[in-house]
Structure 1
Amino acid sequence: MEIIAIEKKTYEQVKQRFEDFSRQVRNLCRENQDKEKWLGNDDVCGLLQTSKRTLQSYRDNGILPYSQIGRKCYYRVSDIENLISQSQISKEQQ
């Protein structure tokens, strides 16, 4: 185990910077918390009444934007609402 000694003044500065950073992250999270909701594959398939394969096709063809964390895909509710609106407009035009 290695021990590193630093001056108290340096420690206090590092501690203050970390506290400031933590506060900024909390504020950003709080501000964005209610702005946009995200759904997983199962929820989106249920809303759109499609299979997981169709949802994969939507992703592959750029029809439905998504974000991926690890192996899991997430979709913004606003993007799903736009897709539903667009599909309703195309049905009305036919």
Structure 2
Amino acid sequence: MEVVTMEKKAFDLMMARYDALVKKVELLKHKANGKRLNKWLTGHEVCQQLRISQRTLQKLRDRRFLGHTQIGRQFYYCPEEVKAIVPLIARIKSV
């Protein structure tokens, strides 16, 4: 076993920084709590809502008309962005 010694002043400073870090992490955790992944839509759900194919959804993603988050091979979409793209889809389908 290895023993490390340090001055009390350095230890207190280290502990204060650690406490500040813990508080920041807790604040970020609390802030992000309302933005859980379960509120996001899968590609299948987006295709059903917009009545488009998977390929059309991919084109929207590739052309940056629709933002997304990718975890592994699965894409997730923010419901607000999906609602915002509805007029664009309606225009495309009417042409």
* Fold similarity call, TM over 0.5: yes
Task: Trace 1:1-94 onto structure 2 (pairs within 5 A).
Answer: 3-34=3-34, 37-88=39-90, 90=91
Indicate the larger mover: 9-18 or 37-46. Answer: 37-46
| CA distance in structure 2 between the partners assigned to 1:87 and 1:14 by the alignment | 55
SS at structure 2 position matched to 1:65: coil
Indicate the larger mover: 38-47 or 57-66. Answer: 38-47
CA displacement at 1:78 relative to structure 2: 1.2
| Contact 2:43/2:76 (8 A) holds in 1 | yes
Indicate the larger mover: 64-73 or 10-19. Answer: 64-73
**Identical pairs, percent:** 32
| CA distance in structure 1 between the partners assigned to 2:72 and 2:3 by the alignment | 36
Indicate the larger mover: 30-39 or 70-79. Answer: 30-39
**What RMSD over aligned residues (CA atoms) do the two structures have, in Å?**
3.2
CA displacement at 1:84 relative to structure 2: 1.7
SS at structure 2 position matched to 1:34: helix
TM-score by length of 1: 0.63
SS at structure 1 position matched to 2:76: strand
Count of residues in correspondence between the two structures: 93
SS at structure 2 position matched to 1:45: helix
**Structure 2 residues without counterparts, runs of 5 or longer:** none
Indicate the larger mover: 16-25 or 2-11. Answer: 2-11
